[in-house]
A and B are shown apart, each in its own frame.
Chain A
Amino acid sequence: MTQLAIIGAYLALLLGLGLFSSRLFRGTGEDYMLASHSIGPFLLLMSLFGTTMTAFALVGSTGEAFREGIGVYGLMASSSGIVHSLCFLLIGVKIWSLGYKHGYTTQIQFFRDRLGDNGIGLLLFPIIVGLVIPYLLIGVIASGAVINGATIGTFPETFAATRGGVPHWLAALVICSVVLIYVFFGGMRGTAWANTFQTSVFMILGVVTFVVIANGIGGQEGLWANMQAATAKVAEAHPDRLTRSEMSKFMFTTYLLIPLSVGMFPHVFQHWLTARSAQTFKLPVIVHPLFIMLVWAPCVMVGVWATSATLNGQLIVPPDVRPNTELPLMVAKLAGPVLGGLLSAGILAAIMSSLDSQFLCIGSIFTNDIVLHYWDKKRFSEKQIVMWARLFVVAIVAVTYGLSLFEPRSVFAMGIWCFSGYTGLFPLVFAALYWKRLTVAGAYACVLTVAGMWLWLFAESGFGANANYTFQLPAFGQQLEMMPVLPITVASVVALVAVSLVTSPPPDETVRRFFPDSPS
Chain B
Amino acid sequence: MKYVIWISVVVLLILHQDFWWWDDGTLLLGIVPIGLASHLAISLAAAVLWCLATIYCWPHSAEKTESSNLSTTEGGQG
Query: Could you tell me which A residues sit within 8 Å of B by CB distance?
Result: 70-71, 73-74, 77-79, 81-82, 85-86, 89, 93-94, 96-105, 108-110, 112-113, 116-118, 121, 224, 227-228, 231-232, 235, 239, 242-245, 247, 249, 252-253, 256, 277-279, 282, 285-290, 292-293, 297, 300-301, 368-369, 373, 377, 516-517
Contacts and interface: CB of A to CB of B under 8 A. Distances in A.
Contacts, number: 166
Contact of A102 (B50, B57, B58, B71): B71
Interface of A is mostly: helix
Interface in B7-25: 9, 12-13, 16-19, 22-25
A256 B31 contact: no
Given A89-B50, A99-B75, A369-B76, 8 more contacts: A73-B36, A81-B47, A101-B68, A112-B77, A243-B23, A278-B59, A279-B63, A373-B76
B47 to A, nearest CB: 5
Contacts of A289: 43-44, 46-47, 50
Interface in B34-51: 35-36, 39-40, 42-44, 46-47, 50-51
B36 A70 contact: yes
B1 interface: no
Find the residue from A82, A100, A103, A287 having the highest chain B CB count within 10 A: A82
Contacts of A94: 59, 62
4 smallest A-B Cβ distances: which pairs?
Answer: A109-B76, A97-B62, A278-B62, A242-B33
A108 B74 CA distance: 13
Contact of A89 (B24, B42, B53): B53
Contacts of A290: 43-44, 47
A117 to B, nearest CB: 8
Nearest to A96: B62
A249 B44 contact: no
A224 B32 CA distance: 11
B27 A85 contact: no
Contacts of B36: 70, 73-74, 297, 300-301
Given A100-B70, A244-B22, A249-B22, A78 B31 contact: no
Contacts of B76: 104, 108-109, 112-113, 121, 368-369, 373
Contacts of B57: 89
B28 to A, nearest CB: 10
B47 A249 contact: no
A118 B54 contact: no
B78 to A, nearest CB: 7
A495 B75 CA distance: 27
16 contacts: A70-B33, A71-B35, A74-B42, A101-B71, A112-B76, A117-B77, A231-B30, A242-B25, A242-B27, A243-B22, A245-B22, A247-B22, A278-B62, A286-B54, A288-B50, A290-B47
Contact of A81 (B46, B51, B58, B70): B46
